[in-house]
Structure 1
Amino acid sequence: MHDERFPGLRRRGFLAATGAASLGALALTGCGSSDGPAASEGDGKPKRGGRLRAAFAGGGASETLDPHLANLFVDAARAKALFDKLADYGPDLAAEPRLATKWEANKTLDRWQVTLREATFHDGKPVTAADVLYSYRRIADPKQAFRAKASLEPIDLDASRATGERRIEFVLKRPTAEFPNVLAAFGAYIVPENASDFDKKPIGSGPFRFVSFTPGRSAVVRRYDDYWEGAPYLDELEFVIANEESARVNALLGGQVEYAHELNPTTARAHENQGQIEIVRLRNSAMQAFVMKTDRPPFDDKRVRQAFFLIADRKELVDGALSGAGEVGNDLFGKGYEYYADGLPQREQDLDQARTLLKQAGAENLKVTLDTSAVAAGFTEAASIFRDQAKKAGVTIEVKMGSKDSYWSDILDSGTLACYRSGAMPIEAHISQRLLTDSTTNATKWQYKDFDALYQQAQSTRDKTERAAVYERMQRRLYTEGGFLVWGFADWILGTARKVKGVERDAPANTLDWARFDKVWIA
């Protein structure tokens, strides 16, 4: 199944899986402090020591620590603790160096030289070019279903080679100006050469090293003192599984955990500024949208799509479907991200103009089915709100409830109008994965050769300012006649004990500073 909270996922996604042990069944140990006193580095400054317990929804007995198979948020957080990537995304979704210290392209942007920093795996062995090439070739194995496979597609791994112990020449299949995004792709973790067994004693180069793992219940990791970016403040970190949001909240309130992932807006409002726990809002973490299939009636007529843009009251959708925990969208992905076309006027509801466009398209008294599901928070509410908004423009929307288990795969090719959401990713990746003729997750069926050509022009353009101009041109077209009706951007909400410090607040889910437990400490 395909869950757009983490883009590109075509399986179960980040849903609270059934069948896993509940938090109450776990044997939780530790109390957020080390065996000995933690050494303070001054008032308000980080303190070393302690154990933090973080509650996430999980995936049951099938969970794995293989970083190339990470699908759930808890998988991603555990992988980030144990492993590293060559690059990762900053808060604006631009790639930032991690295991790579620099990358340099040739004039034609189809060969990139990447230099590694001096870093070691948990067994003391250095991270080398051979480890990188092994990791990428493992991900690209056609017999496997690894998450980052599609992201690595631009690389010709047969031609790519090590040019030194810590230098790699990546040969690409075509010019790729945004190649650093490939290095930062979700799931593109570096593992030791020939590594294959990740559940008994995984070895990575991340800030924590492995202690224990019980699928569907708990994983414990311990500070790696020789981490290249500096040892974490925490002595130990435990990931515990609690599939129900109420279980995560109750465990946090009861002191059984110090960090609870994925809270809903109602919970946040009830506890914000109440003094017992801290509510952390990761702004702009999830795009909220309706997708219109541009290859079939009635949305093959751009005037109908434009009418639907004007039907939406975005503030009402954010207030009603997200309980106000977000901000309005403007029919483009990536608000606040690198290359976002923020100069376009904010679209407002205009029912009169919507009716005029529908009349011009011969679509008066239009009836259309809107697919939705309880697969994601706010979907059913958004569908009901939009149905009522459309009625005011003379459009009849029939809301159709889909299965949680098959919703994403069902709407990818079927239907004409559907609820949709997406986690953070670079705008370039959103375009390449969803808006090109051969994109594998093209939910709007936006397929135009001239648009494809603009993408290739952007990827062949060395000058960043000139490249940004091409991306803006592409976004202006999508704003005018695309198939994504982007009505909002939702906050991602976490809860922590008040003694937990260092949780980054300017970090959309999927980015480097989300779940950075090596930077967290217990006061």
Structure 2
Amino acid sequence: MNHVPVNDSRFPGLRRRGFLAAAGGAAGLGALALAGCAGSGTAADPAKADGKPKRGGRLRAAFAGGGASETLDPHLANLFADAARAKALFDKLADYGPDLSAQPRLASAWEPNAGLDRWKVTLRKAAFHDGKPVTAQDVLYSYRRIADPAKAFRAKASLEPIDLKASRALDERTIEFVLKRPTAEFPNVLAAFGAYIVPAGAQDFDKKPVGSGPFRFVSFAPGKSAVFKRNDAYWDGAPYLDELEFVVANEESARANALLGGQVEYAHELNPATARAHENKGQIQIVRLRNSAMQGFVMKTDRPPFDDKRVREAFFLIADRKELVDGALSGAGEIGNDLFGKGYEYYAGSLPQREQDLDRARKLLKEAGAEKLKVTLDTSPVASGFTEAAAIFRDQAAKAGVRIEIKTGSKDSYWKDILDSGTLASYRSGAMPIESHISQRLLTGSTTNATHWRHKNFDALYQQAQSTKDKKDRAAVYERMQRRLHAEGGFLIWGFADWILGTARSVRGVEQKAPANSLDWARFDKVWLA
């Protein structure tokens, strides 16, 4: 299986062994921590665990890896393992909070001009592992490296709004970013997945990488392990752990067995069956990271039969969302409402939850002249739950008189194939800001516009939002856009999947109150061993 970021700007799906959905706009990759519940003795609540955090010990964390091609170059991070290692060694100017809003990290403040096309960013006092201060020149070097047209760095599309030739350092700790257009959500760019700050001139990251993150480099064997030690001078406080070791275990069963056998203390990406078998049983702790992956289908809105909005609405009404969550996700998730970003900043939560209504669906199909509709549904085992959801939805559609033929595509080319081909397809995405989802997937010029939703008046609303400085007024524009998508868009979003972690009972401090791809996922600097 090839590995693609959960939010790669080209492939917006969340790969089973991949990392964060989201590169591109403010990608997905959308870095990561998440809401959930743990087994007895929750890992995230020290008040209910073993008192105050304590220092010492080595934590071993098992992740799926990428083999001999793995790298510690933070600008090439694509897998979950890459992202977790990058987060341990490096910092970004900002990162995503639990609601996917941008939170300051190396940047202590940011301020736009009146036109929202120039932003002044102030750096906090922070140092690289070699003791040199993090400066404005390091930031500009890092961003210009990422934007190199000859390279395939994951955050390149995210930095597109910046005119990096015109941007400049005002002093050692202040940067003026000049933008190509007004961008009210510019902090999302600073938080973009893979937009890590490296020392000016840095190129080789696999022998002795130097970052400003909470851990320092000790050793790295691609496809096998990486060992880091505590950075006592870290600007956000020294980690509790003495050492952190990343262990590669590609199969879920291997990660689970290593955790159960005491070979590791943290196992990333467990399946629902493993969680059910061990949750609240006392041997290990299960952590469920809620709202981590959007699950749904995409309908091509520019070609029959889905160029008729009555057919799209009928398909919205055909879906029994609970049956899909229970069957395709083994119950490890919650139902969706045909909108991306449930619980995130700007989410239109006031819209009524859509329910299955087969009578209304049949009526709409009849009005559209599609009473005996036959549709091909493209799917693939590229992500967990895809083929199961396709079969469940096929049976649901049959009750409304719609015949769905399932076509199973290649795992290697699936995301590229469905961008332009077919009419109906399985779809998945990791966390990213709602603004990024819109800009990457729903504008006329969006490069990953799988639904082919192209409307100039919708584009104009996005530009209006990005030109609106007042946040309340901006939120009202985003709600207006989401109301239209809910009524007639091409995303049939039936659920949001949990991301499941396992830890030893001795592990404390694993954050559970944010979706995957946000700041607190893989925050090993805040974890300790009881």
Provide TM-score, normalisation by structure 2: 0.93
Contact 2:14-2:383 at 8 Å conserved across structures? no
Give the Cα separation in 2 of the matches to 1:66 and 1:99: 19
Task: Tell me, yes or no, if the aligned pair for 2:336 and 2:342 is still in contact at 8 Å.
Answer: yes
Shift of 1:16: 3.3
1:33: which partner in 2? none
Q: Distance in 1 between matches of 2:3 and 2:213?
A: 28
Whether the 8 Å contact between 1:90 and 1:512 is mirrored in structure 2 is yes
Q: For the residues of structure 2 that align with 1:177 and 1:2, how far apart are their CA atoms?
A: 33
| 1:249 aligned onto 2:256 | yes
Cα distance in structure 2, aligned partners of 1:512 and 1:86: 12
SS of the aligned residue for 2:155 comes to helix
**Is residue 361 from structure 1 mapped to residue 362 from structure 2 by the alignment?**
no
Corresponding residue for 1:76? 83
Distance 1:464 1:286, change over 3 A: same
Q: 1:173 to 1:301 in 2, by over 3 A?
A: same
Of 390, 400, 410 in structure 2, the residue corresponding to residue 403 of structure 1 is 410
The corresponding residue for 1:474 is 481
Q: 1:427 to 1:2 in 2, by over 3 A?
A: farther
Matches within 5 A, 1:90-489: 90-489=97-496
Q: Which moved more, 1:224-233 or 1:5-14?
A: 5-14
Contact 1:2/1:9 (<8 A) preserved: no
CA distance in 2, matches of 1:332, 1:407: 23
Shift of 1:515: 0.4
Q: Does 1:5 align with 2:6?
A: yes
What secondary structure sits across from 1:148 in the alignment? coil
Alpha-carbon contact 1:370-1:397 (below 8 Å) kept: yes
The alignment partner of 1:467 has SS state of helix
In structure 1, list runs of 5 or more residues that go unmatched: 18-41
Q: Which amino acid aligns with 2:522?
A: A
Question: In the aligned structure 2, how far is the partner of 1:141 from the partner of 1:418?
Answer: 33
Per-residue CA deviations over 1:407-464 (Å, capped at 9, x if unaligned) read 1111111111011111000000000000000101111010111100000000000000
Structure 1 residue identity aligned to 2:337: N
Partner of 1:23: none
Answer whether contact 2:325 2:335 (CA < 8 A) is retained: yes
Kindly state the Cα deviation for residue 11 of structure 1 after the two structures are TM-superposed.
9.7
Compute the displacement of 1:190 (Å).
0.2
**Which residue of structure 1 aligns with residue 56 of structure 2?**
49
Q: Is the 8 A contact 1:139 1:188 kept in 2?
A: yes
CA distance in 2, matches of 1:250, 1:435: 42
Residues 224 and 2 of structure 1: is their aligned pair in 2 closer, same or farther, counting only changes over 3 Å? closer
Counterpart amino acid of 1:403?
Answer: S
Q: Which has the higher contact order (CA 8 A, sep 6+)?
A: 2
Name the CA distance, whole Å, in 1 between partners of 2:407 and 2:69.
32
* Displacement after TM superposition at 1:3 (Å): 5.0
Deviation at 1:10, TM superposition (A): 3.9
What is the rounded CA distance, in whole Å, between the counterparts of 1:480 and 1:12 in structure 2?
Answer: 24
Q: Which runs of 4+ in 1 moved over 2 A?
A: 1-17
Q: What RMSD, in angstroms, separates the aligned Cα atoms of the two structures? A: 1.3
TM-score normalised over the length of structure 1: 0.94
Amino acid at match of 2:64: A
Residues in 1 aligned to 2:480 and 2:50: alpha-carbon distance in whole angstroms: 50
- Structure 2 CA distance for partners of 1:66 and 1:4, relative to 1, 3 Å: closer
Aligned partner of residue 355 in structure 1, secondary structure: helix
Deviations 1:242-293 (A, max 9, x none): 1100000000000000000001111100000011000000011110010001
**Distance in 2 between the 1:16 and 1:437 partners?**
31
Cα separation, 2, equivalents of 1:406 and 1:328: 28
- Say if 1:15 and 1:72, in contact at 8 Å, map to a contact too: no
Q: Distance in 1 between matches of 2:12 and 2:356?
A: 36
Inter-CA distance 15–265: structure 2 relative to 1 (3 Å threshold): closer
Alignment equivalent of 1:498, drawn from 490, 501, 505: 505
CA deviation vs aligned residue, 1:156-178 (integer Å, no higher than 9, x gap): 00000000000000000000000
> Does the 8 Å contact 2:3/2:15 carry over to 1?
no
Moved more, 245-254 or 8-17: 8-17
> Residue 6 of structure 1: CA displacement?
2.7
Aligned residue for 1:5, secondary structure, equals coil
Output the amino acid matched with 1:265: P
Q: Verify the 8 A CA contact 1:4 1:423 in the aligned structure 2.
A: no
Q: Spell out, residue by residue over 1:60-98, the C-alpha distance to the aligned partner (whole angstroms, 9 max, x if none).
A: 110100000000000000000000000000000000000
Contact 2:3–2:17, Cα closer than 8 Å, also in 1:
no
Q: CA deviation at 1:5?
A: 2.9
The amino acid that maps onto 2:158 is: S
Residue 483 to residue 11, structure 1, CA distance change in 2 (3 Å): closer
User: Residue deviations 1:340-381, cap 9 Å, x none?
Assistant: 000100000000110111111111110001111111111111
**Contact kept in structure 2, 1:6 and 1:510, CA below 8 Å:** no
Output the CA distance in 2 between the equivalents of 1:93 and 1:384: 32
Kindly tell me the number of residue pairs found equivalent between the two proteins: 499
Q: Unaligned regions of 5+ residues in structure 2, if any?
A: 19-48
Aligned mates of 1:299, 1:9 — CA distance in 2 = 23
* Matched position secondary structure for 2:404: strand
Q: Distance in 2 between matches of 1:288 and 1:210?
A: 37
Contact 2:78 2:154 (8 Å CA) reproduced = yes
Given the superposition, is the C-alpha separation of residues 470 and 12 from structure 1 closer, same or farther in structure 2, using an over 3 Å criterion? Answer: closer
C-alpha separation in 1, matches of 2:310 and 2:8: 29
Residue identity opposite 1:410 in structure 2: D
Report SS of the residue matched to 1:132: helix
Secondary structure of residue in 2 paired with 1:114: strand
Structure 2 distance, partners of 1:262, 1:285, is 12
* Aligned partner letter, 1:456: Q
**What secondary structure does 2:289 align onto?**
strand
User: SS of the counterpart of 1:238?
Assistant: strand
Distance apart, 1:502 and its partner CA: 0.3
Shift of 1:12: 9.9
Which letter maps to 2:472? T
Cα distance in 1 for partners of 2:461, 2:12 equals 31
Matches of 2:15 and 2:65 in 1, distance apart? 8
1:213 is aligned with what amino acid? F
**Residues 398-407 or 454-463, more deviating:** 398-407
> 1:405 offset after TM fit, Å?
1.2
